[in-house]
Structure 1
Amino acid sequence: MKKGLKSPSKKCTLISASLLFLCTTLTVQAQDFLYGDALPDAPHLAVRGDNTVGVRTINLTHKNQVDILNSKGGADPMYDRPLTIEVWYPSEAPKNKGATVSYEEVMGTRGDSLRPLVPFTFKGRAYRNAAPKATTGGYPLIVVSHGYVGSRYLMTYLTENLASKGYIVVSIDHTDSTFKDANAFQSTLLNRAKDIRFVINTIAEKGSSSSKDQLSGMLDSENIGIVGYSMGGYGVLNVGGAGYSDGLTAFFGQMTGGSTAILALAASNAEYQKQIDPRIKAVVAFAPWGMERGVWDANGLAGLKKPTLFIAGDQDDISGYEKGIKAIYKGAVNADRYLLTYKNARHNVAPNPPPAAALQPGLHIDEYYRYAEPSWDQRKINNINQHFLTAFLGTHLKGTDYGAYLDIPKESNEQDWHGFKPRSSTGMQLLHAKAALPNMKQ
């Protein structure tokens, strides 16, 4: 050691050791943070509920459906359409903050002629196949529909959170519309709303007291909410009462060689009105696609009479905002409706944050931007979504008074919103419009 230099003291050594321990501890804690966990500035209703969550996978078959991908004009061929769903529910499993479940997912799109499929897993907070928790009167049902392309695991931060608050939550893998099996768009156009209706009816049967399914007696099938993102939004709005325009039915016929199969979902079809399910009490549409493409007209939007929460980014470059999502909000004049807008956000206002697998070098940028928002922390968006869906769905499916969280008098930059930490509710707007016909229900 050179003259004039002093050896480290024991005090410095202890400080260094303490800093090393602190860094190690913080690293472990960061690794334990899972999708949907509450950030320090999460709004009040984002926190998970009191129930531990069970999860199970069910394979369904929707028989005798139009095989639109093989339609060549004339009579449409028929097939049995496979659907996989994931069900989250309140469980009898013990409370354990460290308990996790692994979800198996892929990045990419179909993998043959498009982007290669890259399998990965990510963790959630649920117990696989746990025994359901019995309840008097059953739990309200929420059905979730992903975008094109996507999967039933695209919004686990939300599905787990809602299940922990006393809902049965079902998320659909829409055949021909997932990362694994994405196919020609006419299948998504036709089948999205039909899949949602089929799953609602199937789960209602499984949840009935006469069923032998695990869900028997657990379901309050008279209180149902439907949640959709992008093409899922396109689907839930139709299921909720917004029939498609004749312009869409004509376009669909052109792209399928003359098929009229989608006419069953058109506002001008008297039979369509008979499909509107009175058990559905609330609709949530994240970035719903289609308005800029003529999917709805004034007549179709007027048919939406369910309470509806729209969630959008004002820079949405997929569904559009002013002439897209906001135009739907304005046109749905017979629905009591809200529009939550994330300022400077684009289309990805609904998914989980980007998985660690999407951060690998060399991957197509769209693997990351299938999830991420350029100007927002996706975890913050997730927490805000949990907060507002808890308030909105709780109001309409459980009759809980969440009015203070939904009656927002000013923009977030002008005033702290109720339920938000001081200085945390910036960059948002929440609009509310009452139904022109307030006593009309479907």
Structure 2
Amino acid sequence: MKRTALSNAHHWMLLLLAFNFGLLTVAAQEFVYGDPLPDAPELAFRGPYSVGVKTMQFENPNQVDILNSTGEKTVTYNRPLTTEVWYPVNKQGNRTITEYQDYMGTANDSLRPLIPFTFKGRALRDAIPEKPMEKYPLVIVSHGYVGSRYLMTYLTENLASKGYVVVAIAHTDSTFEDANAFYSTLLNRPLDIKFVLNAIEAISKNGSNTVLENLVDTNNTALIGYSMGGYGVLNVAGGGYSDGLGAFFKTMTKGNDAIAVNLASNATYQNKKDTRIKAVVALAPWGKERGVWTADNLKGIKVPTFFIAGDKDDISGYENGIKAIYEEAIYSDRYLLTYANARHNVAPNPAPKEALNLALHFDEYYRYAEPAWDSRRINNINQHFITAFLGLHLKGEDNNAFLDLETTGNKTNWKGFKPRSVTGLELLHQKPAE
């Protein structure tokens, strides 16, 4: 039947309506932190599990209250620590939307007052976990100063969907809500990480009657730290702090030497190697440029380590900071992923929509954003490489092809990446010295 001009117009009208409906449908599918972009590498996509999430409270007893102690007087307290725990729920792959409550600003800062905001994730609050045939590996996440246990939900949810129990610590005195003197973070960061590892081990045992009962294999643990979190996880992994940091800490605290427990020169520290830790991821770790480690101190890191950095990092430093740590941790099987022209923010979620308010302090936006990179793109790349690295060392997956890459010449053939999508990336790998 021959189509008339009127029927042609009707035909095109229907196509136009269908196209517009399609655009509306796409727009209705809200992007949630961690969702894959079209150029996301292969391992950035979620795993087979749905994800549960639960807030858990702990207290570390009889800790040095460094904010109220001096060289002459040591005060102790039971140190409170809030954690957020993500865990596998089932293998149906549904993506229930949850809402996280967080803050911009910093406590007691008149220029950047606390501003609450919410954002969405793909997890089910207080869900019943999927009981495994074999217990799940544990991943402990440590944020920066200042920061939040929700700062990297793109990664914590993603790893839980792949069969890990992920515990993010809200470090007391170091969050947006309760930021306090920096020397509390210097002292407590590695102590918090080690305590939470022990606490999770205790509540994962048979008979604990907790959501993690019989769920976690703490003998198969990875540590992930960003900025001051990197400072902490590297110490727990064997990178004892320098005597120079010890002297600086005593000056800041009017003679208190509580940090001595984590100095490389302390024989007790040298005997504290934790065999439960099988891998470490350090994103923009802080400290090397400030003398926190010497080359000899970094030789104590012997677990496989994956470093992530921007080569324009103006907080932790690159050549004399993060890259120097990578080069001097010679007894670790280690990688260094570098984002060209990125600064310090290679780890967090994208900036919340509230941070787009031009009336706010500019740093509310630049606490998250990068000048030359899309944060969502960085998130996808981090998901990919951290999945490959942890899968290799905690699950025995054959992921070497994703990690041992040609980084000179034509770099368009990196396994798992779309063609022409690795511009601006470099991945280095060094085997441990014998």
Q: Shorter-chain-normalised TM-score: which range? A: over 0.9
What runs of 5+ residues in structure 2 fail to find an aligned partner?
1-8
The Cα offsets for residues 226-278 of structure 1, whole Å up to 9 and x where unpaired, read as 00000000000000000000000000000000011000000000000222210
What residue in structure 1 maps to residue 28 of structure 2?
28
- Alignment partners' CA distance in 2, 1:94 and 1:327: 44
1:81 partner letter: R
> Which residue of the partner structure matches residue 107 of structure 1?
104
What secondary structure sits across from 2:81 in the alignment?
strand
Letter in 1 for 2:78: D
Give the corresponding residue for 2:85.
87
Q: Are 2:396 and 1:404 equivalent residues in the alignment?
A: no
Would you say 1:241 and 2:238 are equivalent positions?
yes
Shift in Å, 1:189: 0.2
Match of 1:57 in 2: 55
**Bigger CA drift: 111-120 or 240-249?**
111-120
Matches within 5 A, 1:219-230: 219-230=216-227
CA drift of 1:33 comes to 1.4
Q: Report the Cα offset of residue 92 of structure 1.
A: 3.8
Separation in 2 of the partners of 1:206 and 1:259? Answer: 33
Look up the match of 1:211. Answer: 208
SS at match of 2:141: strand
Deviation of 1:10 after TM superposition, in Å, equals: 5.4
2: CA distance, partners of 1:317 / 1:112: 22
Identify the residue that residue 191 of structure 1 maps to in structure 2: 188
Query: In terms of mean alpha carbon deviation, does 406-415 or 395-404 score higher?
Result: 406-415
SS in 2 for 1:60: strand
Residue 393, structure 1, aligned to residue 378, structure 2: no
Match of 1:329 in 2: 326
Check whether the contact 1:329–1:337 (CA below 8 A) recurs between aligned residues: yes
Moved more, 176-185 or 407-416: 407-416
What's the CA shift for 1:13? 5.4
Change beyond 3 A, Cα 1:296–1:323: same
How far apart are the structure 2 equivalents of 1:366 and 1:388?
28
Show the counterpart of 2:122.
Answer: 125
Where does 1:15-414 land on structure 2 (aligned, <5 Å)? 17-18=17-18, 20-29=20-29, 32-92=30-90, 95-97=93-95, 99-411=96-408, 414=411
CA contact (8 A) 2:48 2:91 kept: no
For the structure 1 residues 46 and 93, does the alpha-carbon distance in structure 2 shift closer, same or farther, using more than 3 Å as the test?
Answer: closer
Q: Does the 8 Å contact 2:99/2:121 carry over to 1?
A: yes
Give the deviation of 1:76 after TM superposition.
1.6
State the partner residue of 2:3: none
Give deviations 1:326-376, integer Å, cap 9, x for gaps.
Answer: 000011011110000001100000000111111122011111111111100
Residues 356-406 of structure 1: CA deviation (Å, up to 9, x unaligned): 111122011111111111100111110110000111011111111101000
Secondary structure in 2 matching 1:123 = strand
Letter of the 1:429 partner, please give it.
E
- The aligned residue for residue 3 of structure 1 is none
User: CA contact under 8 A between 1:35 and 1:124: conserved in structure 2?
Assistant: yes
* Aligned equivalents of 2:252, 2:407: Cα separation in 1: 45
In structure 2, what is the Cα distance between the partners aligned to 1:54 and 1:151? 19
Partner Cα separation in structure 2 for residue 62 and residue 342 of structure 1: 37
What is the CA–CA distance in structure 1 between the aligned matches of 2:119 and 2:91, rounded to whole Å? 21
Bigger CA drift: 86-95 or 257-266?
A: 86-95
Q: Residues 26, 309 of structure 1: CA spacing in aligned structure 2 closer, same or farther, 3 A cutoff?
A: same
- Aligned-pair CA distance for 1:38: 1.0
CA distance in structure 2 between the partners assigned to 1:365 and 1:89 by the alignment: 35
Contact 1:413 1:428 in 2 (8 A): no
Asked whether the equivalents of residues 308 and 337 of structure 1 are also in contact (C-alpha less than 8 Å), the reply is: yes
Deviation at 1:15, TM superposition (A): 6.1
Work out the CA distance in 2 between the residues paired with 1:114 and 1:123.
27
Secondary structure, in 3 states, of the residue corresponding to 1:161?
helix
Shift in alpha-carbon separation, 1:235–1:394, aligned structure 2, 3 A: same
Q: Is the 8 A contact 1:225 1:283 kept in 2?
A: yes
Partner Cα separation in structure 2 for residue 287 and residue 316 of structure 1: 8
Compared CA separation, residues 309 and 95, structure 1 to 2 (3 A): closer
Residue in structure 1 matched with residue 5 of structure 2 by the alignment: none
TM-score for both structures, normalised by structure 2: 0.95
Please say if residues 183 and 249 of structure 2, whose CA atoms lie closer than 8 Å, have aligned partners that are also in contact. yes
SS at match of 2:198: helix
What's 1:5 paired with?
Answer: none
Q: Report deviation, 1:115.
A: 1.2
Range that drifts further, 111-120 or 426-435: 111-120
Question: 1:210, CA displacement in angstroms?
Answer: 3.9
Q: By how many angstroms is 1:14 displaced?
A: 4.9
Please give the alpha-carbon distance, in whole angstroms, between the structure 1 residues aligned to 2:187 and 2:277: 21
State the distance in 2 between where 1:435 and 1:230 align.
Answer: 24
- Whether contact under 8 Å (2:263, 2:269) holds in the other structure is yes
In 2, Cα distance between equivalents of 1:114 and 1:155: 25
* Aligned residues of 2:412 and 2:419 also touching (Cα < 8 A): no
Partner AA of 1:67 in structure 2:
D
The TM-score normalised by the length of structure 1 is: 0.93
**Displacement of 1:12:** 7.0
8 Å CA contact retained: 2:412, 2:421: no
- Distance in 2 (alpha carbons) for counterparts of 1:338 and 1:321: 14
**Alpha-carbon distance in 2 for matches of 1:71, 1:303:** 30
Inter-partner Cα distance in structure 1 for 2:408 and 2:360 = 38
Q: Which amino acid aligns with 2:134?
A: G
Instruction: Tell me if the contact between 1:301 and 1:332 (Cα under 8 Å) persists in the aligned partners.
Output: yes
Amino acid in structure 1 at the alignment position of 2:25: T
